Amino acid sequence: MNVQASHNGLMGTFIHYVSRNVLGMLGFSFYILADTFFVAQGVGENGLASLNIAIPVYSFSYAFGLMLGMGGGTRFAILKASGEKEHGSRVFTEDMITGLVIGLFIMLTGIFFSAPISRLIGADSATIETTDIYVKTVMCFAPAFIINNILIPFVRNDGAPGLAMAAMLSGSISNVIFDYIFIFPCNMGMFGAALATGFAPVMGILVCSVHFLRKRNSFRFVPARPHFGTIRDICALGNASFIGELSNGIVILVLNMLILGIAGNTGVAAYGVVANAALVVMSVYTGISQGIQPIVSAAHGQGNKPWVKKTYAAAIVTALIISALVYAASFIFAEPLSMAFNSENNPLLTEIASEGIRIYFIGFGFAGINVITAVFFGSIEKAVPSFVISIMRGIGVVIPTAIILSSLLGMTGVWLTFPVTELIVFLAAVIMKKISDK
């Protein structure tokens, strides 16, 4: 994408890229939500608890793909803007080989060690069987998750955000369809839910592969092997996406452990409802950040600083508007949403989840800014502030905050962990942005 020669103008380009990525990420989040709904209806409360316990493992695989995809895509966009297309193809090839190796390692780990992993992340006697099934199946699809997450950013950065969106949506739609078929007519339970989730990235890969048949495709496979310097550069540029996704898993893992001691499996199931509803909103912020990345990286590569600044500002305003609307809606739909995932009509589950939605969702205004700012820094080759923001969200602030607040306030403290963490990170992000602008 030649930013300076764009015929759409900044806002036209912003809407073109961001809208497609938001729609694609919404589709992705809805297939996680579909898993939650179908498991709740077809397997019950223990199945819902098992799904939430297993999500960190899924996040782990997905995070590696995002890091390699967003980092490689960012470097490719900068090289393409500088006219170095052949170098961009080498980056793509090295990225794909690295992703495949990591994916195969995760797959083998899942095949041989899924049960110990399930117990380690919090499964007890009531949930170990269903958790183990889900963990093993999802880990077997790790190569597909990683390769899909590499292909989509490269396709997006090669001027095809519509195809990238189609790849994400096709995976999401297939997951919803197979979720229903496998869990209900086929009566496959938790294995069916995991299998449907695993098919989603396979569909995405098939759709992305169309890009290689297009004449305007700027990257291709070339003879190359991974070099440490290239992979280190890719990981540095993609660390915000990696830590951001991994943080979701870490937060869920830590809070699951704390909630088990406070409210048992019912509390974990309620947290599953809140966390998956929150995932839909967070996917919008991720879509915005991934949407501006090609614009910002290309403008940065061409030295177009006004577009870099204005694109970031437009993203922040968009996120704040969405946050305000979501928080208002949370007061209206907290109970209906909680009841939709409560097939056994447990009043305690509905009560805990409804309270959680109203408190947890306070943090979205800060979270949106933090996610966008972290990816923005990575898009302009400022890996350090990007890493700091992401690590604060993922480990540095959230874990001690969760432990302290839950010990003082019980479940209310658990729900407050997210908004308090995002507020602290937001203040740090503002300082880093001001220093960066000097």
Q: What is the largest CA-CA distance in the chain?
A: 61
Give 51-91 as a DSSP string. HHHHHHHHHHHHHHHHHHHHHHHHHHHHHHHTT-HHHHHHH
The proportion of the chain whose per-residue pLDDT surpasses 90, expressed as a percent, equals 44
Residue 118 has pLDDT above 70, yes or no: yes
Q: Residues 37, 38, 39, 44: is their CA dihedral positive or negative?
A: positive
What is the distance between the alpha carbons of residues 20 and 194, in angstroms, rounded to a whole number?
Answer: 27
pLDDT per residue as tens digits for the range 223-280: 988 899 999 999 988 887 787 777 777 777 888 889 988 988 888 888 888 887 888 8
- Residue 366: which pLDDT band, with cuts at 50, 70 and 90? very high
Query: Which of the two residues, 378 and 190, has the higher pLDDT score?
Result: 190
Per-residue pLDDT at 269: 84
Total structural domains within the chain: 1
4 in a structural domain? no
Q: Are 189 and 222 in contact (CB under 8 A)?
A: no
Instruction: Determine the residue type at 409.
Output: L
Query: Which of the two residues, 436 and 185, has the higher pLDDT score?
Result: 185
259 in a structural domain? yes
pLDDT per residue as tens digits for the range 124-164: 888 999 999 999 999 999 999 999 999 999 998 898 888 98
Question: What angle is formed at CA 341 by the lines to CA 285 and CA 189, rounded to 5 degrees?
Answer: 105
What is the distance between the alpha carbons of residues 22 and 19, in angstroms, rounded to a whole number?
Answer: 5
* Cβ neighbours of residue 243 closer than 8 Å, sequence gap 6 or more: 63, 387, 390, 391, 393, 394
The proportion of the chain whose per-residue pLDDT surpasses 70, expressed as a percent, equals 98
pLDDT per residue as tens digits for the range 395-424: 789 889 999 999 999 999 999 999 999 999
What is the distance between the alpha carbons of residues 61 and 242, in angstroms, rounded to a whole number?
Answer: 10
Residue 6 has pLDDT above 70, yes or no: no
Give 295-338 as a DSSP string. HHHHHHHHT-HHHHHHHHHHHHHHHHHHHHHHHHHHHHHHHHHH
Per-residue pLDDT at 321: 94
Report in angstroms the alpha-carbon separations of 367 from 5, 33, 72, 165, 358. Answer: 33, 20, 24, 23, 15
Q: What domain range is 421 assigned to?
A: 9-437
3 in a structural domain? no
Q: How many CA atoms lie within 13 A of 329 on its CB side?
A: 12
Nearest to 429 by CA among 381, 382, 399, 392: 392
CA 193 from chain centre, in angstroms, equals: 19
Other CB atoms closer than 10 Å to residue 173's CB: what's the count?
16
How would you label 414-425 residue by residue, b for 16+ Cβ within 10 Å and e otherwise?
bbbbbbbbbbbb
Q: Are 299 and 37 in contact (CB under 8 A)?
A: no
pLDDT per residue as tens digits for the range 42-68: 888 788 888 878 888 888 888 899 999
Q: Which three-class secondary structure state does DSSP give residue 221? A: coil
Query: Which of the two residues, 45 and 69, has the higher pLDDT score?
Result: 69
> Mean pLDDT across the stretch 85-94?
92
84 in a structural domain? yes
Q: What is the pLDDT of the chain when averaged over all its residues?
A: 88
CA 209 from chain centre, in angstroms, equals: 22
Residue 5 has pLDDT above 50, yes or no: no
pLDDT per residue as tens digits for the range 314-344: 999 999 999 999 989 888 888 888 888 777 7
> Mean pLDDT across the stretch 5-18?
75
Per-residue pLDDT at 4: 45
18 in a structural domain? yes
What is the distance between the alpha carbons of residues 244 and 221, in angstroms, rounded to a whole number?
Answer: 29
Q: How many CA atoms lie within 13 A of 275 on its CB side?
A: 31
CA 84 from chain centre, in angstroms, equals: 30
Per-residue pLDDT at 340: 80
Question: What angle is formed at CA 282 by the lines to CA 343 and CA 180, rounded to 5 degrees?
Answer: 35
Which residue reads 């960012």 in tokens? 74
What is the distance between the alpha carbons of residues 159 and 226, in angstroms, rounded to a whole number?
Answer: 25
Lowest mean pLDDT among 16-20, 88-92, 236-240: 236-240
Helices 45-81/128-140 angle, 10° precision: 20
Instruction: Determine the residue type at 418.
Output: F
What is the distance between the alpha carbons of residues 432 and 430, in angstroms, rounded to a whole number?
Answer: 6
> Mean pLDDT across the stretch 361-388?
90
253 in a structural domain? yes
20 in a structural domain? yes
What is the distance between the alpha carbons of residues 190 and 288, in angstroms, rounded to a whole number?
Answer: 32
Q: Are 168 and 27 in contact (CB under 8 A)?
A: yes
Per-residue pLDDT at 8: 62
372 in a structural domain? yes
Whether this model's pTM surpasses 0.85: no
Lowest mean pLDDT among 5-19, 54-68, 69-83: 5-19
